[in-house]
Structure 1
Amino acid sequence: MPHIRPNYLREGDLVIFYKKVTYSMMAAALSFSVIPVFSAEQAEASDRYADVDNGYWAEEEIEYLTEQGVADGDASGDYRPEQPLTRAQASIMMTNALGEGALNASSPTFSDVDSSFWAYGSIEKAAELDIFQGNNGSFNPNGEIEKAQVAAVVSRAFFDQAAEPDTAGSFSDIDSDFWAQEYIATLADQGIVQESGSFDPNDSATRAEFSAYLARAMEETMQSSGNGNPSSSPDEEDFSDENVMYEGEVDADTPLNVRTGPGTGNQAVNQLSDGTNVDIYGRDGDWLKIENAGDWGYIHGAYVTTVDNSDSEEDDTSETPDEGTNESPSDDVQGSIISAAKVTVDDLNVRTEGSTDGDIITKLQSGDTVDVYEHTGENWARIDYGSGEGYVHRHYLQEKEPGADALEDRTIVIDAGHGDHDNGASGNGLIEKEVNLDVALEVEERLEEAGVDVVMTRDDDTFLGLNERVDVAESVDADAFVSIHSNAYKQSAHGTEAFYNGSHKASESRALASSIQQELVKQTDMTDRRVADAGFVVIENTTMPSSLVELGFLTNPSDAARMKKAGYPDKAAGAIFDGIDNYYNW
């Protein structure tokens, strides 16, 4: 099962995370020494809590979180700083810190957290954001969270990259091969923890310790982005139409925060409702730059769809032909065929000229094939649509040379999910990282035989971070990216599913995912669960057609029995190869 970076996914009432089992428990450890992070302006001491005395080591951090609305005391007015923190309490604090509301999912993700549980909404949201994961389908909400686990939660939520492993080498109880060292290194590198003494990574974290950890990370994020004012004030000319990259539309179940900088540590200064159209002026990582009350604002790109599905000036898939429009160039198409093309969207307008000023002759549907006779400018193609010729926008065509094998000489990245200390899911005697790799290696062999330049993110039991996997695909300018995973949830969940993301090459990615899914269902005899848009990191951030496939549920006896058979890796790999081949060759 893959991981989703915080703030990457909002799927309405659809929980796409059939939560996994072991990510080796998202880890890192912490020895909470007092580091002078806060100034008097940031959090003044107060007598808010009877059991947090003036001078208490985490007094300022606790006050800061209270002022930010992240944490609160109990009904008696106590904060109980020395009490262990439960996983349910931690999920509430984390979602509050990120400015995320509760997610009232229609069906529970975890077997031990039903909709009546007091922290249900926060736990569901934390799971959706991949801040927390369960184990074998359960969450253990009342269990005490270890310092290792809480460190990982904050590290992954607020910091993109892990520091060099030896950064955390001065802790006496953290060996160089400790499975969570990269998280520790990140926090030490950020100055959030002090490199001395021991971490005690397996000890339960207290409320005070978690508060210090979280508050320092929030403040560090805000400081690193220029105190919420990362860019100079724009001039009126900066908002001109010529500087607009494209138009987007907010796609969010709850109001979308507009922040002063690219990051959750920056102040939220406005909110946009679902369906709001916005002009996009730039991109900073996952954040989109927009105009907000005469200044720059930033919104998270995961909650914005592109109105025209590209950076082009016009969306040519929505208009309806004018009544009585019968204009068409001659039925006798002039010239030679330069390529064959497949339509990648529904309702693609065919026009009388290569411009949106041209009248609409007819519409083409996704999967229709046409002959291309000419490229006019960068964006238009003159085609034969069967009843004559017309012009369509090239962004919605997948082209290939006539009669050529469109798969040969492609560069395709195959990503076997998880690896090394990160086992992924497990169930019925199967371990996900092993299943993924076995299938991926067979896919590699088939693609190479077809003349494909195959790049593997891993070909043995090693670990790569999510962004490292993305970097592999981007660095080789891949034509396609396919990530292979296996699923886990409650025992009754079964079937195969394939995901794509709408951020880049949406229609092509959807077509690739659908093609692979069709073959997996047919060739491995798995239930067709679905093809869906999702916010997994590796398909959110790769800019080529990308898909993430879930082979089946290791936690389901029937799926697992199929996957245990000796010939399964070969069969699944054949299906994935055929799906890729069918996507390119029609």
Structure 2
Amino acid sequence: MKVVIDPGHGGQDRSNHGPTGYVEADGVLDIGLRLRKLLEEAGYTIKMTRDSNETIGLYRRSEIANDWGGNLYLSLHTNAASTPNAKGIEIFHSKNGLYGDQYHDEAKRVAEIILELLIEATGLKNRGTKTRLMEKTTSSIYGRDYYAVIRRTRMPSLIIELGFHTNPKEEALLKTAEFRQKLAESIAAGVKKAYPVETPQEHSGGDTGEPEGKIFNEHQLKVMIEGQEKLIDGYIEEGIFYVPIRFLEQYGYKVRYDARQPAVVIDKA
């Protein structure tokens, strides 16, 4: 399972800040680094769009995610409002991007799981999971996802707004390492719940042959797709090799979750 962590802003984009010195770019980077550590320890493969205070454009962020072939995109932010009374956590998710609506159901599912755990851990107001589309009819992206990083990514994508830094009480929380760790742990728990990954079991003795479908290392399996050989990340459990199905989207298939059945549906795109 390949997860892209995108700490928002950074570099020259450091204008978003709270009333007593919290800087969004620094806060979400710290949360992102904590989240990376937690997910890597749990067996996930992680790509960060930035891991330091650097300037990364919106289009470049989605390019990094797409080029890497991520399965899930998490953009981390803290919120702002003109009133200090605005509060709580909300998550925006894919609905209708440049690649259509194929990621909507899955993104909504994951957003709901992560938001529930964030609210449970922090006690902050639940502002819900949301979508936002471009409403201007003259726009070239009319009817598409409003936010570029959601619109342009080729995977289920979330923008996670982790409280309001313009709210004095929430800014005070965001300035503490303890609270940022709690946020990272909640997001990590959500990813684990949505995409369980088990640690490969160690096997000793009695095995003299290679497993069927040659394994190149403990995390990869050779898979033939329409005559083309691909190395796919996965894991072994009790002698059976498991691979995530989202990788099929890289090869022209449409993978979606149909909550009505419920079932994962794979179609030719």
Q: Same fold (TM over 0.5)?
A: yes
Q: Does 1:528 align with 2:126?
A: yes
- Distance of 2:172 and 2:42 partners within structure 1: 30
Task: Write the deviation string for residues 131-189 of structure 1: whole angstroms up to 9, x where unpaired.
Answer: xxxxxxxxxxxxxxxxxxxxxxxxxxxxxxxxxxxxxxxxxxxxxxxxxxxxxxxxxxx
Task: Write the deviation string for residues 266-322 of structure 1: whole angstroms up to 9, x where unpaired.
Answer: xxxxxxxxxxxxxxxxxxxxxxxxxxxxxxxxxxxxxxxxxxxxxxxxxxxxxxxxx
Q: Does 1:459 align with 2:57?
A: no
Tell me the equivalent position of 1:563.
Answer: 174
Question: Matched residue of 2:177: which SS?
Answer: coil
- Distance of 1:545 and 1:470 partners within structure 2: 12
* Number of positions where the alignment pairs a residue of Structure 1 with one of Structure 2: 177
The match for 2:85 among 475, 480, 492 is 492
Instruction: Give 1:458 shift.
Output: 0.2
1:469 partner amino acid:
R
- Distance of 2:128 and 2:64 partners within structure 1: 28
Q: Does 1:438 align with 2:47?
A: no
- Distance of 2:88 and 2:31 partners within structure 1: 17
Tell me the equivalent position of 1:579.
Answer: 190
**8 Å CA contact 2:165, 2:171 repeated in 1:** yes
Instruction: Give 1:545 shift.
Output: 1.2
**8 Å CA contact 2:95, 2:103 repeated in 1:** yes
1:496 partner amino acid:
I
Over aligned residues, Cα RMSD in angstroms?
1.3
What pairs with 1:110-129 in structure 2 (closer than 5 Å)? Answer: none
Question: Matched residue of 2:65: which SS?
Answer: helix
Tell me the equivalent position of 2:70.
Answer: 478
Task: Write the deviation string for residues 27-52 of structure 1: whole angstroms up to 9, x where unpaired.
Answer: xxxxxxxxxxxxxxxxxxxxxxxxxx
Question: Matched residue of 2:161: which SS?
Answer: strand
What pairs with 1:270-281 in structure 2 (closer than 5 Å)? Answer: none
Runs of 4+ in 1 over 2 A off after TM superposition: none
Change (3 A) 1:424 1:536: farther
1:560 partner amino acid:
E
**8 Å CA contact 2:86, 2:164 repeated in 1:** yes
Task: Write the deviation string for residues 512-570 of structure 1: whole angstroms up to 9, x where unpaired.
Answer: 11111111111122111121012211011112111110001001012112212231221
Tell me the equivalent position of 1:508.
Answer: 106
**8 Å CA contact 1:512, 1:546 repeated in 2:** no
**8 Å CA contact 2:84, 2:168 repeated in 1:** yes
**8 Å CA contact 2:91, 2:158 repeated in 1:** yes
Tell me the equivalent position of 1:343.
Answer: none
* Structure of larger gyration radius: 1
Instruction: Give 1:491 shift.
Output: 0.6
Tell me the equivalent position of 1:425.
Answer: 16
Task: Write the deviation string for residues 321-345 of structure 1: whole angstroms up to 9, x where unpaired.
Answer: xxxxxxxxxxxxxxxxxxxxxxxxx
Tell me the equivalent position of 1:468.
Answer: 60
The match for 1:544 among 133, 155, 166 is 155
- Distance of 1:506 and 1:566 partners within structure 2: 33
**8 Å CA contact 1:447, 1:577 repeated in 2:** yes
What pairs with 1:252-331 in structure 2 (closer than 5 Å)? Answer: none
Question: Matched residue of 2:3: which SS?
Answer: strand
Tell me the equivalent position of 1:229.
Answer: none
What pairs with 1:345-356 in structure 2 (closer than 5 Å)? Answer: none
**8 Å CA contact 2:78, 2:164 repeated in 1:** yes
1:575 partner amino acid:
S
**8 Å CA contact 1:552, 1:559 repeated in 2:** yes
Q: Does 1:411 align with 2:2?
A: yes
Instruction: Give 1:424 shift.
Output: 4.6
> Could you tell me the percent identity over the aligned residues?
34
**8 Å CA contact 2:93, 2:107 repeated in 1:** yes
Task: Write the deviation string for residues 363-416 of structure 1: whole angstroms up to 9, x where unpaired.
Answer: xxxxxxxxxxxxxxxxxxxxxxxxxxxxxxxxxxxxxxxxxxxxxxx1110000
What pairs with 1:52-131 in structure 2 (closer than 5 Å)? Answer: none
- Distance of 1:580 and 1:533 partners within structure 2: 20
Task: Write the deviation string for residues 403-441 of structure 1: whole angstroms up to 9, x where unpaired.
Answer: xxxxxxx11100000001101521132110011101000
Tell me the equivalent position of 1:138.
Answer: none
**8 Å CA contact 2:72, 2:156 repeated in 1:** yes
- Distance of 1:501 and 1:519 partners within structure 2: 20
Higher relative contact order (CA 8 A, sep 6+): 2
2:17 partner amino acid:
S
